[in-house]
Structure 1
Amino acid sequence: MAHIISGAAGSGKTTALYSLLKTDKGNKVLLVPDQFVFESERRVADELDEKTSGIMVTGFMSLAEKILKKYCPRKIYADSTAKLAIMNRAVKSLAESFDFYGSAAKKPGFVSVCLSGVETLKSAGISSQKLYDIIAEDSTVSSAPAHFTDKMHDIALFYSLYDKMLTELYDDRQDNLLLAARTIAENDCFPKNTRVYIDGFDSFSGAQKEFLRAMADKGVDFTVAVCTNDSGAEIFSECDKTKALFENQYAMDCGKPQKTEYTKFGDSAVRYKNDTLRVLRDLLQGGKAGKPADPHGVTLAYSRNMSGEADFVCANIRKLVRCEGYRYSDIAVICAAPAKYRDAVRSAALRYEVPIFADLPEPVSEKPLLRYLDCLLCAAEEPTGIKVLRYIRSGFARIPSDKKEGKTVPLTLRDQHIVEEYANRWDLKNRRWDRPFPHITDDAEKAVENIRDKIVSPLTEFEKSVRNVGGKELVRRFTEFLFDKADISAAIQGKCQDNSTRQLRYVKELTEEYNNLWRNVSDMLTSLYETLDDTPMTIGELAALIRTCSAQINLSRPPKVLDSVLFGDPARTRSRDVRAVFVMGAADGAFPGIRTDDNGIFTADDNEFLAQSGLDINEDEDAEYSLAVLDCYKALTLAGEKLFVTFAGEPENASEYVGETAKLIGTDIVNIDELPPLYLMESAKSADRQYVLNGTALTAPQKRAVTEALTECGRENTAISRINAAAERRADGADIHRIGETAKLVFPSSSLSPTAIEKLNGCKFSYFLQYGMELRSPFDITMSAVNYGSIMHYIMKYSFERLYANAKDNGNPHAGEDTIKQLVAEAMTEYREKYLLGESEMSAKFNTLYRALSTAAFYLLKYMTAELENSRFVPTYFELTLSKASSVDEFDASPYSFDITLDDGSTQTVTIGGTVDRVDMAYGDDGSRQIRVIDYKTGKKEASLSRIYYGLDLQLLLYLLTLSDNNKDNGCQPSAAMYYPAGKTPLKDIKDPSEELKRGMWLDSHRETGFAVEGTQQELERDNYNGKYIDQNGKQKYECLYSATTIEKTKLANLESRIAKVIKENAGKVKSGCVDAKPLSENGVAISCKYCEYKDICGAGISSATDVNSEDAAAFSEDIVLSEESK
């Protein structure tokens, strides 16, 4: 018999269910979702007293395990690592048999996608044989496309083999529900007077339905609490389907239909102590507000960013606890995208001293220890410079001690630095490090070689020892290597130590975290050892398998204190007597939003074809959306007293629920960013932060209030102290920085790139931090200006090498549009294969921008090749690297080199290398050659001699002058150093322009800038830049679009002398320890400070800066530039 308890949110359904549970004299089972078992057990203990002994509180999987343990012999359950290892074996053995997947089966991540697909099928109660049967049916063959049957055949193939391999060693929890259902049918698993009480479910999976059906057929009775008010409202559509299951399919007694009992609470509202929340609930479920509601207890707010949103939430939690007597456990924070908000909330919680328990999975793959294992295996497999340096930087690498035999010591920061410096100097990052370094001439270089040997030798020995061994043996030897050679125990202990004291102390929190983490790693390696067989496995394959396995293992973090705020998503958050709820991330498209944890291997079309054949893998889109809407309803109706709803963005980004709520209660949405700073000052740290952020906006009384608040907290008013101290320093030489003898450590003799020289000349302090201390921010693979430029450079090199291979002897060829399009497509395909992840692994935005880049590349090549057809310049060298003793076809490409004298009288040699995008040669009839260097720029770049005068924008001129000087004995002389705009094109937006107008518009939007030497070939070809274009007023104009600055030939030596002087002076100061924060400025703006990451700590002000538009710079420019009269 079924007893259905129904009612809207907060109507008292669960309370009624517990009352029935308490009075029931028979055998009782309380069935709840797995994540709610602990809380339900606690509630049973609190409410039912001594009656609890006869109640089993369980989830579906635990109940199935109990049944199987009693009636069936069981093996050890396979964990996620064992499953992935077995799926890896299955896919590897079937790779040649796949009709649909083919080579895709060898790609990273395919194994985890396959396992996810199989577990989805098992959850839905679908076996591999059912898939084979569906494929074989005539209706499927005739109606489904061929690729569908091929795909399902491949899935059934690895599903069946995986299942076979798995059951030889383990049992799978995913099979438990179906196995338990069969066991219930074959045995008397429950006493005759058993009733199952079901609470917390909105819907059931296919396997859960089979389990319930088996129980119903054996005469088990059900009492189920369902969130619906019998109104037929759309928001309850999925709950109504669940209710119908118990009315029809499960209302049976040994196969005979039985009467269904009902307890209906309708729209009762026992939860709400605030009538506004009841009215809001009625509105959300499709009803009408019974009476006008006021905004009491409901707050709606938004901020520009998640950090501001999190500050607002934590500040109000503190207000509730401090001013209104709430406990933290009375409060819940529900987030539409908790993984996205997690870091912002944790950071704010620390500032506001709010204890928050985040009920979120945290994969161990994100932890440094797992990255270390990956770096170790990658370096052992192929010990190239880049991979070994990644291993060194991991923070866990250790080397044998010189003082104590058999002991290891950690690599120091100095060790890392000198190895990286040496690798940069001799360009060793792409070379293998399993042989001695070249150029070992002094003690410092011998020290570098000693470190290399201690790092790499154990790795290469390990690699040799595991060649051609099976997976099981590889895992065993790898584990031995971790303990015997890598000394992982000491490495982990080092991470747990308190470095603030010289005494040996361990930080409790770190020790607990690493103990937990190592237990997971140890279990993973043990599981791999037990699961893998003697099939040969490479180090690379093991590394990939560990990456995949670790991504599936989550760290468990119990609450640090019992009285804490629960932070989770709408579907997982369930608590009794929640007084206040904060709903974060309530933005349009995210609240409600369809869950993104899709089935991976199954597309929407696959699901549709399978559903037509009677195999329902998951809910359809309408059902998923209904469940998402129901989650939102539950989140907004959970609070008994106060509700706060927040989102990030602008007011128009608000979810429809925010708008409806604001309209109902007649209130505005609060702009968090415009709140008074004192509103967010609810703790010492938060007050400290708000003082720093809003110091200039605070009035004198507000500042006094902050000081008093901090004093009351017993904390040092650090923000005020820091700000006042900074103000004093700024007034007294805050921009003066001296590092003395430290300069020799952080600036050893080395080669410099033009970018480094630019930074050095622009601001010595910024250069010191970036290149001396190596303080840099990480970056992602996005379509930034840097990546756009790299891709465009690659296309140019690829295309020009093929177009102009024979141009020296035959002249520059004509390049047709079809040829250009083909070259662009080939170059982009090759670039993706070499430097990017697969298209499926990059973001949709990146892929779209990547494909769109081909348009700009096409026009760029079209008009560049058109110009070159009429030019004597022949593109000759591409991506030419200036390095020691470098030459290409007898063309000397040695770097710029000079000596500087330091303050202590010592001399140091400095070289400036780099890579030239393109070098063109104009061949004279007398055998002479003129050099033109080209630099592609994605943005606008002006050629300014005033900036050159102070050491900025030297790169192109340095390249030109250096290459000309290196090869002057071979008849080479400088002609031009040009910036060529390689950014986006406006031509795609112009409808049907003439070819002449197209060319002119291109020249106008891509005007080459730079410097040309008087009387050289670049100057003689000025007429090649004549063209028609459309001005700002929409009128067509025809003029010469040549815009290079012409340098008098007789004054070229003056230019070269000035460049050498400014580089030597600045390099000498820096290497002598003077790293002052005295940047260069232009038009009142500090040039180097615009995008500088260090401007908050340098102490520089605009008064410290030197203006590049000085009289000296102007006079220099006027002296060497060819006058208009001379032209």
Structure 2
Amino acid sequence: MLRLIYSTQRHVLRRTCLELAIQQTEQEPDSRVLLVVPEQTKMDMEQDYLTMSRAPGLMQAEVLSFRRLAWRLLGEVGRQPLFPVDPVGRAMLIHRVLHQNKDLLHSFGYLADKPGFIRQVTAVLGDLKRYRIGAKQLQAAAEKAEEKALKDKSLDLAIVLGGYDAALAEAGLTDAEDDLTRLAELLQTLSDLPGSDWPWPWSRLGWLKRTHVLVSGFGEVRDFTPQESLVLRGLADLCAHMTLTAAADAAPGDSQVLDQGLEAFMAGRRTIWHLQAVLPGLEIRRVDAETTGLQTRIARLLRHGNLDREPGTQDGCQLRLIRAASTDDELSYLAGMIRQLVQLEGYRYRDISVALCSLPSYLPRLRAIFREYGLPLFLDMERPLNGSPLMRHVLGLLDIGLTNWSRQALMGYLRAGLSGLTAADIDRLENAWLARGLFRRDRIFRDALYRLPGLATETETEAPDADPDEAGPERETPDCSLLTLRDQALLPVRDALRRLSARSDVQGKGAALRQILADSGMLERVEDLTGRWAGQQEMDAAVMLAQSWNALQRVLDQLVQLTPDLPVSLKQFRDSLSAGLDTAAAGVIPSAIDQVGIGDLQRSMLRRAKVLFVIGASAQNLPPALPPEGLLKDPDRQRITQLIGQYLPSSARDKVFADSFVIDALLTQPAERLFLSTASPPANLFNQLAAQYPGCLMQLPECCDRSDPRLNAPAPALRWLLGNPSGLAPLRSELAGLFADSGLQLPEAGERSLSVRPDLMRSLYEAPVVLSVSQLEKYASCPFSHLAERLLSLQMRPEWRPEVTETGVLLHGVLERAMQAVRQDLLALPEPERERLAQALWDRWLQADLSALIDAWMRETAEQEGLERLFDAGLNASAGRRIRRTAQSSLQVILAQYRQEKYQPARFEWVFDPQRQGQLRLPMPPGQPVWLRGKIDRIDHDGSDGETTFRVIDYKSGQRTADYLALYHGLALQLPIYLAAYAGAHPNLKPADAAWFTVNRPYYAAKTGEQITNDALAGKLVNMQKPSSLNLEPDDLVRLCRHARWQAARLAGELLSGRFPVRPCLLPGQKAPCSWCDYRAMCRFDGNPSAWYRPAKLPAQEAEGTRGGQKASFLEQLRKAFPDPSVPDAPQEELLP
């Protein structure tokens, strides 16, 4: 008896099928029942069978997928394949065939090593085998095709499919995709046997004659394949009864009416039409169940565009429609509502299902939020194993050898977590390699490059924008602890690569890799990590890691099985492994009974849940966007179907029908509660439901109140309380007590100032206290950033980059050596005629070719500072050339300025601190001695007028100009403090000027049509790079020095008292310091206009508002505070800012 049951209600078909199976086993205990279902529903069907049946077990009923049925029946008669190739082996074999036939291929040859391409070819070949299309049909299609692209694709597929089948036969292997074909052949053999008594071994399947077969779960999103159809025909001829189900709105009697009906049931109608041809005499009947409520009205909306809602219906309480401002808000509401349903409304986690409309977009954040809310989840999806720690470890090991120990390969290997090093040790190694720019095997294993701290880094270079007052650390001794870590991590890698390279064939390399893993104790490491993750309730990751070990062994087994004696290079071995691992995937069963089920729309449709959340119900994701069509686009598939007369399914068109059915089945299955949410413009269905049920629509507010589900977990609630003064006020006293019991203090409402106890500050700065000028400038700009950088020692990890060194150590070294050479030439001139002969010396230097000298000075600096790496061919051609050009441009400008002036270079890199000749003590209260330290790039002297004066020059990489408001408020202390320090160490010299010099290579942007001579251009470039002076008279410079010392003393006093408010300083017309600060994420400064510290404007500036007016008012304030610069008295207190 052949019977087909169809309905528009998927759950009705499922229940009917189970009831028939249970009824049959109860009425005829000696008969057998085979339930054939899709693989992913097998376990659920078994559970439902046991739940519905009065019998305590599955005795005479078996729940099988088509593939399991094939192995079940073939195994009974000893015809199961002995050497089957699974998807992993298939991918490796296809990779080999592609490379062997690269010269014959038209489109596929150059794509063989492209990531993901093997997976695409494997998918297409799987379709071809399931729909019984072979290499000959593809060749015929290529001969008939007129389009060149289709002709080339068909020929390439014919070559690959033919080569793949030939390789299987040569190796004595079979393809798992042919299992159903073999089953159909077996069933046909049984049907052809004469009589009722079958000889052995066929008699072992005699029970099929008394078997009832029920096929459920197909005819929903796709039709049966030709392979499956042949199996059904064979079972129909042998078995006592067969019942099939299909989800359809009608049973078409004519092929012309197949397309007349709802999109959601297109696959079901096609299935019914197809089965009528395959199974003559098929009895067809429809089964529907009476339904009411929300799901019935949603079904009407999906299928007919209206709800037909009766007045007074109350099913709106089952529905919630949520609009959120962001994905995090949407997922936080989901997590909080699940906790509420479980805690307050009596649901279990297993009663709840979450359907993600876009799994890739939501899954990473959902994992994090569920972890924060403490929710157990089961992710119902097939997990690719190529990203597991073990797979990354193995491929990273091989990539190290193939990429000459590149940084990406090294860190991929170490970060996999199976190298034996702790995460902290890996961080140390990575930071060391980044700071020293180490990659390539010859550099990584060169001990001399591990000097402390090694090559110049962004933190240690004396770059113009770095801290010029800090003394550089010594660079002499290799860091032995780093060398130990390096050897522990990488010597086994070096040995492993040697062993792999020594073996020439697949079998040898496979054996070597297995032995390498065994010698390193990899199995024990995998087991240890799996156990730790399981103990941390990270079951998904733990199971994946355990399965990846088994998958790797299977990949190596099949690789050796396929081509044991094939000679391969390390790259070919790696590519073959990668092709297999890229296909390896594993399913996971729930690790606990009570978990929230999470999946995409199709997998969620297969679950029965009391509460359903549909997340991401936006216009973009509901229905889901079509996936990439892959290797064969829909037009190609349709054209091949026409050319060979055999059906090849459409991927895009059929996906549209499948998605329609999935959405219909998902939203219309019985559920007590239904939630749809989106953080983007909503889907049409969402809007239609919102129009019908306006009371169910909720817009999540930006600010939560205490009843908001998003606060239904400790961590989110605490964040809200601490960030919401109005919400915290009623609970402050109670919270303060709880905090006090824990040894903590609840911060005051609105408090943004941080403080450190004075006694702790004194212990941090032992007497005598020595501060740098840049420390005080940093503190004045933002006290919190000083706390983070100096006291907490927070910093971005240093990374060696040529462009950092370009404006740092090398340029400083070149300019210093150049000026020393010039000074030696000046001192060599006869004293009486030095002033007259100096002009000729400057001309000689300006006309000289400085290229060779600059190159020599660069090499001297590089050898002294450990920067020889910059002379590697690649870096020397890029960064080295830029440094030479910048140095030459800057030297030309400096020499030209000396020629025009009477200043002569006198000191370079002059250091002042308490241990040297230059001492600068601040005017602090008694008992609080504070000295300053610093380093001045260049000092020039001028003795032409009988009195020797000096100026200080500070090198910068960017343009700087005098900001008199910053000078007045202590935000620009560097130049005046330098003047004060040098003047204090040389009382016979008088300060005359201070300036910034920009070390760069300027460019002049000419206007359209502008004509300019070389001399004029040279003059413009010199002017663009000339020093930016403070432009003050000598007496005013003395006043400024004293003012700067008092400002430095004020800042030092505040710093040492431990005051670190989160209040950065903002000057008019200047960029906020937060724009380049590395600590913004820690201070949580919100940039509110009232939160900035805005220094008071100078009195006269209010009226004049110009730069000239600012300078005049600045000088007026200085002169009032220090009337007589020659008298070293204190300024008038009321004039201090």
Please say if residues 759 and 767 of structure 1, whose CA atoms lie closer than 8 Å, have aligned partners that are also in contact: no
1:321–1:1054 CA distance, 2 compared to 1 (3 A) = same
Residue in structure 2 matched with residue 733 of structure 1 by the alignment: 755
Q: Do residues 565 (structure 1) and 596 (structure 2) align?
A: yes
* Deviations, residues 592-639 of structure 1 (Å, cap 9, x unaligned): 12442x452223332232232234443354432122121111121124
* Deviations, residues 793-821 of structure 1 (Å, cap 9, x unaligned): xxxxxxxxxxxxxxx99xxxxxxxxxxxx
Q: Do residues 263 (structure 1) and 270 (structure 2) align?
A: no
Q: Do residues 211 (structure 1) and 228 (structure 2) align?
A: yes
Of residues 212, 215, 225 in structure 2, which corresponds to 1:198? 215
Report which stretch shifted further, 293-302 or 462-471. Answer: 462-471
Of residues 631, 641, 656 in structure 2, which corresponds to 1:611? 641
1:743–1:490 CA distance, 2 compared to 1 (3 A) = farther
TM-score (norm 1): 0.66
Q: Do residues 1081 (structure 1) and 1026 (structure 2) align?
A: no
Please say if residues 450 and 478 of structure 2, whose CA atoms lie closer than 8 Å, have aligned partners that are also in contact: no
Matches for 1:1098-1113 after TM superposition, within 5 Å? 1098=1083
Q: Do residues 230 (structure 1) and 250 (structure 2) align?
A: yes
- The residue type paired with residue 564 of structure 1 is Q
Residue in structure 2 matched with residue 820 of structure 1 by the alignment: none
Residue in structure 2 matched with residue 56 of structure 1 by the alignment: 62
Q: Do residues 585 (structure 1) and 616 (structure 2) align?
A: yes
Please state whether the residue corresponding to 2:590 is helix, strand or coil: coil
Please say if residues 337 and 569 of structure 1, whose CA atoms lie closer than 8 Å, have aligned partners that are also in contact: yes
Of residues 108, 112, 115 in structure 1, which corresponds to 2:119? 112
Please say if residues 74 and 186 of structure 2, whose CA atoms lie closer than 8 Å, have aligned partners that are also in contact: yes
1:672–1:1050 CA distance, 2 compared to 1 (3 A) = closer
Residue in structure 2 matched with residue 671 of structure 1 by the alignment: 699
Q: Do residues 281 (structure 1) and 310 (structure 2) align?
A: no
Larger Rg: 2
Matches for 1:691-840 after TM superposition, within 5 Å? 691-692=720-721, 695-698=724-727, 700-701=729-730, 724-725=746-747, 730=752, 733=755, 763-767=785-789, 772=794, 774=796
Please say if residues 122 and 207 of structure 1, whose CA atoms lie closer than 8 Å, have aligned partners that are also in contact: no
Residue in structure 2 matched with residue 472 of structure 1 by the alignment: 507
Q: Do residues 379 (structure 1) and 400 (structure 2) align?
A: yes
Residue in structure 2 matched with residue 915 of structure 1 by the alignment: none
- Once the two structures are TM-superposed, the CA of residue 359 in structure 1 deviates from its matched residue by 0.6
Q: Do residues 22 (structure 1) and 19 (structure 2) align?
A: no
Q: Distance in 2 between matches of 1:171 and 1:1061?
A: 87
Q: Distance in 1 between matches of 2:405 and 2:792?
A: 25
- Once the two structures are TM-superposed, the CA of residue 1079 in structure 1 deviates from its matched residue by 6.8
Q: Distance in 1 between matches of 2:160 and 2:112?
A: 11
Residue in structure 1 matched with residue 378 of structure 2 by the alignment: 357
Residue in structure 2 matched with residue 132 of structure 1 by the alignment: 139
Q: Distance in 2 between matches of 1:538 and 1:1074?
A: 64
Matches for 1:990-1001 after TM superposition, within 5 Å? none
Please say if residues 6 and 13 of structure 1, whose CA atoms lie closer than 8 Å, have aligned partners that are also in contact: yes
Percent identity between the two aligned chains: 15
Please say if residues 601 and 663 of structure 2, whose CA atoms lie closer than 8 Å, have aligned partners that are also in contact: yes
Residue in structure 2 matched with residue 655 of structure 1 by the alignment: 683
Of residues 556, 574, 588 in structure 2, which corresponds to 1:528? 556
Q: Distance in 2 between matches of 1:742 and 1:164?
A: 77
Q: Distance in 2 between matches of 1:1112 and 1:454?
A: 66
Please state whether the residue corresponding to 1:49 is helix, strand or coil: coil
Q: Distance in 2 between matches of 1:18 and 1:383?
A: 61
Report which stretch shifted further, 551-560 or 486-495. Answer: 486-495
Residue in structure 2 matched with residue 1035 of structure 1 by the alignment: none
* Deviations, residues 380-406 of structure 1 (Å, cap 9, x unaligned): 4445462576268527475xxxxxxxx
Residue in structure 2 matched with residue 181 of structure 1 by the alignment: 184
Please say if residues 737 and 1075 of structure 1, whose CA atoms lie closer than 8 Å, have aligned partners that are also in contact: no
Q: Distance in 1 between matches of 2:488 and 2:892?
A: 37
Residue in structure 2 matched with residue 680 of structure 1 by the alignment: 709
Q: Distance in 2 between matches of 1:943 and 1:133?
A: 82
Q: Distance in 1 between matches of 2:98 and 2:72?
A: 33
Please say if residues 61 and 176 of structure 1, whose CA atoms lie closer than 8 Å, have aligned partners that are also in contact: yes
* Deviations, residues 1015-1064 of structure 1 (Å, cap 9, x unaligned): 98237889xxxxxxxxxxxxxxxxxxxx9997579999999999x999x9
- Once the two structures are TM-superposed, the CA of residue 420 in structure 1 deviates from its matched residue by 5.1
- Once the two structures are TM-superposed, the CA of residue 473 in structure 1 deviates from its matched residue by 1.9
Report which stretch shifted further, 55-64 or 34-43. Answer: 55-64
Please say if residues 976 and 1018 of structure 1, whose CA atoms lie closer than 8 Å, have aligned partners that are also in contact: no
RMSD over aligned Cα atoms: 6.0
TM-score (norm 2): 0.65
Please say if residues 70 and 180 of structure 2, whose CA atoms lie closer than 8 Å, have aligned partners that are also in contact: yes
Q: Do residues 5 (structure 1) and 5 (structure 2) align?
A: yes
Please say if residues 84 and 115 of structure 1, whose CA atoms lie closer than 8 Å, have aligned partners that are also in contact: yes
- The residue type paired with residue 497 of structure 2 is E
Of residues 136, 141, 164 in structure 2, which corresponds to 1:162? 164
Please say if residues 1081 and 1087 of structure 1, whose CA atoms lie closer than 8 Å, have aligned partners that are also in contact: yes
Residue in structure 2 matched with residue 602 of structure 1 by the alignment: 632
Residue in structure 1 matched with residue 350 of structure 2 by the alignment: 329
Q: Do residues 458 (structure 1) and 492 (structure 2) align?
A: yes
Please state whether the residue corresponding to 1:366 is helix, strand or coil: coil
Please say if residues 752 and 1062 of structure 2, whose CA atoms lie closer than 8 Å, have aligned partners that are also in contact: no
- The residue type paired with residue 208 of structure 1 is T
Please state whether the residue corresponding to 1:1082 is helix, strand or coil: coil
- Once the two structures are TM-superposed, the CA of residue 770 in structure 1 deviates from its matched residue by 11
Count of residue pairs the alignment pairs up? 895
Q: Distance in 1 between matches of 2:1027 and 2:507?
A: 69
- The residue type paired with residue 311 of structure 1 is S
1:1096–1:126 CA distance, 2 compared to 1 (3 A) = same
Q: Distance in 1 between matches of 2:614 and 2:541?
A: 30
Q: Distance in 2 between matches of 1:905 and 1:933?
A: 27
1:325–1:110 CA distance, 2 compared to 1 (3 A) = closer
Please say if residues 28 and 195 of structure 1, whose CA atoms lie closer than 8 Å, have aligned partners that are also in contact: yes
Please state whether the residue corresponding to 2:386 is helix, strand or coil: helix
- The residue type paired with residue 164 of structure 2 is Y
1:760–1:40 CA distance, 2 compared to 1 (3 A) = same
* Deviations, residues 49-86 of structure 1 (Å, cap 9, x unaligned): 33942222111221122233335241243344323322
Give ranges in structure 1 of 5+ residues lacking alignment.
399-408, 499-504, 745-751, 778-785, 787-807, 810-834, 836-875, 913-930, 955-972, 983-994, 1001-1013, 1023-1042
1:1089–1:156 CA distance, 2 compared to 1 (3 A) = same
Please say if residues 601 and 662 of structure 2, whose CA atoms lie closer than 8 Å, have aligned partners that are also in contact: yes
Q: Distance in 2 between matches of 1:74 and 1:719?
A: 70
1:69–1:719 CA distance, 2 compared to 1 (3 A) = farther
Q: Distance in 1 between matches of 2:277 and 2:45?
A: 25
* Deviations, residues 875-917 of structure 1 (Å, cap 9, x unaligned): x997558889998999899xx97868699999999999xxxxx
Residue in structure 1 matched with residue 85 of structure 2 by the alignment: 78
Q: Distance in 2 between matches of 1:12 and 1:618?
A: 28
Please say if residues 132 and 156 of structure 1, whose CA atoms lie closer than 8 Å, have aligned partners that are also in contact: yes
Residue in structure 2 matched with residue 624 of structure 1 by the alignment: 655
- The residue type paired with residue 301 of structure 1 is I
- Once the two structures are TM-superposed, the CA of residue 118 in structure 1 deviates from its matched residue by 1.9
1:1080–1:330 CA distance, 2 compared to 1 (3 A) = closer
- The residue type paired with residue 216 of structure 1 is R
- The residue type paired with residue 1066 of structure 2 is E
1:462–1:233 CA distance, 2 compared to 1 (3 A) = closer
